[in-house]
Amino acid sequence: MVPIARLLCVALVLSSLAWADGPGDNQVQSVRPVPPPGISIDPAVRQELEAGLKALEAQVKRLQEKASKDSFTARYLPDVEIYSRGLRLALEEGTIYDVKELPQAKDVLAEGITRAAELESGKAPWSTRTGLVVRGFRSRLDGTVQPYGVVVPASYNADNLHRCDLWFRGRAEKTPELQFIYQRSRQAGEYTPARTIVVHPFARYCNANKLAGEVDSLEALEHAQSHYAVDPDRISIRGFSMGGAAVWHLAVHYPDRWFAANPGAGFSETPLFLNVFQQEKLAPTEFEQTLWKLYDAPYWALNLKNLPTIAYSGEIDKQKQAADVMEAAMAKLGDRLVHIIGPQTAHKLHPDSKVEIEKRMASLAVEGRNRVPERVHFTTCTLKYDRSFWVRVTGLEEHWTFGTVDATLIAPGGIRIRSERVTDLELNFEAGTFPLSNQSIIVEFEGAKPQTVSVPGRLSDGSWMAQFHQVNGLWKAGPRPVEGLRKSHNLQGPIDDALMDSFVFVLPSGKSASPVVEAWVQSEAARAQKEWRRQMRGEVRVLKADQVTPEVMKNSHLILWGDEQSNPLIGQLAAQLPIRKVGTNWNVGNARFSDTDHLPVLIYPNPSAPGRYIVLNSGLTYREYDYLNNARQVPRLPDWAIIDCRTPPDARYPGKIVKAGFFDEQWRLKSEK
């Protein structure tokens, strides 16, 4: 007799063949394109679509001119522009995949033309409709318009606050903007709870809502909140498959924003998923393993102590592994994960499970988010994700080593804190929320050196904030005195972090002395622009050095391409960077690398613009090989690296990485042991 466990294993494999990427996507030298190429369009149909698009773009141009003087037009213009941009990209990139999508393209075009005409007449009727509505916003990253879908309940009343669910979609390689817009105008989605606004972020295509997709998701929510009566204490995150993975990471990184998290299937970490599901033989560098910590949710499981979580898996779905891994991680912390399992179900939602999930979610929505929990548990390895409720970590002993905080309110006038590997803290309560009444607050720091610190009590509006920092292992009240650079929130690296806020590429205005370096820079800069469009569905803003004004520096991170000879800005900043060229060599500590065939990539605070980065010679650090599986889509380079440009770039790396590492907490090169 064949053991039941073995039969179940076979069933798991068979059930996953239709959707798993599989070993075929482990070949670096033969990477299939993502997005895939579409069909050939009949010339007459293409001509009809292009003529209609030309007319729509003429309307958009008139609206753009009007928007510079009219705030109403400016407010609703992205709701029109998403239609013209979606169709333009589909035609230019060849991403129409079925003849059935051609009538859909015509429908999208017609809706865009209708909206443009309505907005030209000073109206935006779609903004007050109930049902399925497609909206757009202008991204702060690159200025492009990005779509999202919203389901507005028939009972919607702008005078009352409503529950809001964010639904994160599954992997859909053949659903870029055009198809997404059409679907969101026709399909309500898996869940449409009563009296609930459901927001469907586009999230910059197939990235599991990471990096730019993460920002896109939060910006879609922010836009929805500015247009609809969303209750800030009744917002949840939900998703399935790739969307389930998105829920895990947004839950552990932003645990104080949601009243509940409902991940389904997906993945929750990188190495086990790729080993088991992709059958990939992993041989990561030390810094690649370190970077997995950014999105691998089990490391962050402590943060779920303050966030109600309801996981779902099909019983015979291989992606049940995601919740199993998280269940084990939470169990180590003494927590029991609610894990609803669809009986004999593969990669889909079981109808009975949906009923049970909805019952629990509705109950949690009644209570809503607790803005001021009595006890806050928080862990982080990067100041990118620095807060939970009233606790904010403002300094770590060392990035990529997890620090933890356990903070408890003690009436009538005390706070007890136990922390590890945290050097700076801020406790912050908004107006009307501080529950302690004493004129003086006693903060008890537990640990190897227990101590108490007394600080003033709450202010007259019911708010309270206090900062603390460690000196020689002892806590002191107040912020740490400013002494040079320190890593801080949104100024902590790695390289990809510069692409999570407004950025511009500054291209060379001259040529490098080395032909090898020159060829590499030209090729990689062009590739970075192309791949930002293909994978993050945006348009890189490009400048030359003499176009970079103080205002540009103030408002954007600068991605500088070239070297001191080819890019004047690099020449101006070179002496202030921790990796410098001396003579004909790049100096990295005691190591030397010839400038004729090597080039640094790095991220560093802009010496001319506090709060902004400069990056040398890098766009997104994950590449074509990583597009094929969302678990691979994590930063591939740390804070700095030296590239040997003689080794041709491939689908994984920009060349041979001869040395790489992270800067320390003061943005200095770490000493080698």
Mean pLDDT across 384-388: 98
pLDDT given at position 63: 98
Alpha carbon separation from 361 to 78, 163, 221, 341 (Å, rounded): 33, 11, 19, 16
pLDDT at 447: 86
Given pLDDT bands bounded at 50, 70 and 90, which one contains residue 673? low
Mean pLDDT over 9-24 rounds to: 45
At residue 466, the 3 state secondary structure works out as strand
- Residue 630 inside a domain? The answer is yes
Q: In the structure encoding, which two tokens stand for residue 429, read together?
A: 């309560």
Do residues 583 and 448 share a domain?
no
DSSP 490: T
Is pLDDT at 3 greater than 50 in this prediction? no
> Residue range 390-395: average pLDDT?
98
Report pLDDT for 89. 98
Ramachandran category for residue 611: left, alpha or beta (phi over 0 → left; psi -120 to 50 → alpha): left
Dihedral sign, Cα of residue 558, residue 563, residue 566, residue 569: positive
Three-state secondary structure call for residue 176: coil
With H, G, I as helix, E, B as strand and everything else as coil, classify residue 137. strand
pLDDT tens-digit readout, 434-491: 999 999 999 999 988 899 999 999 999 999 999 999 999 999 999 999 989 999 999 9
What's the Cα-to-Cα distance from 22 to each of 32, 275, 449, rounded to whole Å?
13, 10, 52
Residues 657 and 600 in one domain: yes
d(CA 315, CA 350): 10
197-202 mean pLDDT: 98
Q: What is the per-residue pLDDT for 405?
A: 98
The residue whose two tokens read 């939602």 is 349
| Residue 285 CA: distances (Å) to CA of 5, 525, 659 | 35, 25, 11
Per the CB < 8 A criterion, the answer to whether 314 and 342 are in contact is yes
8-state DSSP, 352: H
> Could you tell me if 657 and 511 lie in one domain?
yes
First to last CA, the chain: 57
73 has pLDDT over 60:
yes
Last residue of a domain, one of 425, 446, 477: 477
Co-location of 547 and 445 in the same domain: no
Q: Does the structure show a pLDDT above 70 at 355?
A: yes
pLDDT in tens, 36-46: 999 999 999 99
106 vs 51: CA distance, rounded Å: 11
What does the block give as tokens for 671? 């000493």
Q: Please check whether residue 38 lies inside any domain of the structure.
A: no
| Residue whose entry in the numeric block shows the structure tokens 């997104």 | 620
Task: Kindly report the three-state secondary structure assignment for every residue of 29-96.
Answer: CCCCCCCCCCCCCCHHHHHHHHHHHHHHHHHHHHHHHHHCCCHHHHHHCHHHHHHHHHHHHHHHHCCC
Amino acid at the residue 433: T
Predicted pLDDT of residue 137: 98
Question: Is the preceding omega at residue 494 within 30 degrees of 0, hence cis?
Answer: yes
Q: How far apart are CA 466 and CA 415, in angstroms?
A: 11
Averaged pLDDT, 205-225: 98
Instruction: Determine contact, residues 312/349, Cβ cutoff 8 Å.
Output: yes
Identify the CA nearest to 426 among candidates 410, 443, 440, 413. Answer: 443
Q: Going by C-beta distance under 8 Å and a sequence separation of 6 or more, which residues neighbour residue 483?
A: none
* Residue 628's pLDDT band (cuts 50, 70, 90): very high
**Domain for residue 89, yes or no?**
no
CA–CA separation, 584 and 647 (whole Å): 20
- Check pLDDT > 70 for residue 217: yes
CA distance readout (Å), 511 to 514, 562, 564: 8, 8, 10
Q: 177-184 and 78-93 helices cross at what angle (nearest 10)?
A: 130
Residue 278 has pLDDT above 50, yes or no: yes
Amino acid at 358: E
pLDDT average, residue stretch 166-178: 97
Q: What is the phi-psi region of residue 378: left when phi exceeds 0, alpha when psi lies from -120 to 50, beta otherwise?
A: beta
- Residue corresponding to tokens 């205002």: 551
Q: Is residue 604 part of a domain?
A: yes
Model confidence band, residue 492 (pLDDT cutoffs 50, 70, 90): very high
Cα R_g (the chain), whole angstroms:
26
Q: How does pLDDT run across 521-571, given as a tens digit for each residue? A: 999 999 999 999 999 999 999 999 999 999 999 999 999 999 999 999 999
* In the block, residue with structure tokens 């005691």: 590
- 510 and 470 inside one domain: no
Last residue of a domain, one of 477, 511, 546: 477
Judgement on whether residues 458 and 537 belong to the same structural domain of the protein: no
Measured distance CA(558)–CA(554) in Å, rounded: 10
pLDDT tens track for 363-378: 999 999 999 999 999 9
What DSSP state is assigned to residue 399? T
Same domain, 429 and 499: no
Q: Is residue 525 part of a domain?
A: yes
Which long-range contacts (C-beta less than 8 Å, at least 24 apart) are formed by 286-292? 287/637, 287/638, 287/660, 287/661, 287/662, 288/636, 290/400, 290/638, 290/662, 291/494, 291/634, 291/635, 291/636, 291/638, 292/634
Closest CA to 176 of 80, 94, 240: 94
> Within this chain, do residues 453 and 535 fall inside the same structural domain, yes or no?
no
- Looking at the structure, tell me whether residues 576 and 624 fall in a common domain: yes
Is 242 contained in some domain? no
What pLDDT sits at residue 21? 61
- Please, what's the b/e burial string for 319-329 (b: 16 or more CB within 10 A of its CB; e: otherwise)? bbbbbbbbbeb
3-state secondary structure of 426: strand
φ, ψ for residue 127 (rounded to 5)? Answer: -70, -15
Residues 638 and 500 in one domain: yes
Structure tokens at 401: 């080593």
Q: Express each pLDDT in 647-666 by its tens digit.
A: 999 999 999 999 999 999 99
Count of domains observed in the chain:
2
Phi, psi of 660 (to 5 degrees): -160, 155
Q: Which domain holds residue 545?
A: 495-661
Q: Give the per-residue pLDDT at 22.
A: 77
- Same domain, yes or no: 384 and 461: yes
Q: Which of 449, 477, 505 is the last residue of a domain?
A: 477
Give yes or no for residue 70 having a pLDDT over 90.
Answer: yes
- Do 449 and 503 lie in one domain? The reply is no
- The answer to whether position 211 is within a domain reads no
Q: How confident is the model at residue 671 (pLDDT cuts 50, 70, 90)?
A: confident
Tell me what the pLDDT averaged over the chain comes to: 95
The reply to whether 16 falls in a domain is no
> What's the pLDDT score for residue 19?
39
Q: Is 48 left (phi over 0), alpha (psi -120 to 50) or beta?
A: alpha
